Amino acid sequence: MADDDIMDALSAWADKVAADLKIDPPTAEQINQLLGVAGVAAHEVLRPAAPITTFLAGYALGADPSLSLESVVATITRLAKERES
């Protein structure tokens, strides 16, 4: 599957889930950020850390509206990289 096809499928899936959950769907940029932080967690921690990490990112954003996705991603990335040190 081509990268554009993958992003289209992910966006369609996110739109469907968001509609059923009655929340705003993520933007393409937000999807890319979440995929990136999931990749960091999978490679720097353990592969199964990816879904847990994205859950925690979303949970943090829902719990504290003053947080931004960028700041949460930066924190998680820093923590994962420090883990290797």
Round to whole Å and give the CA distance between 60 and 49. 16
Q: Average pLDDT in the 30-52 region?
A: 96
Is the pLDDT reported for residue 24 higher than 70? yes
| Helix and strand counts by DSSP (H, E) for the chain | 4, 0
pLDDT of 64? 97
Is the pLDDT reported for residue 67 higher than 90? yes
* Triad 73, 42, 45: Cα angle to 5°: 90
Is the pLDDT reported for residue 85 higher than 90? no
pLDDT of 1? 80
pLDDT of 84? 65
Is the pLDDT reported for residue 6 higher than 60? yes
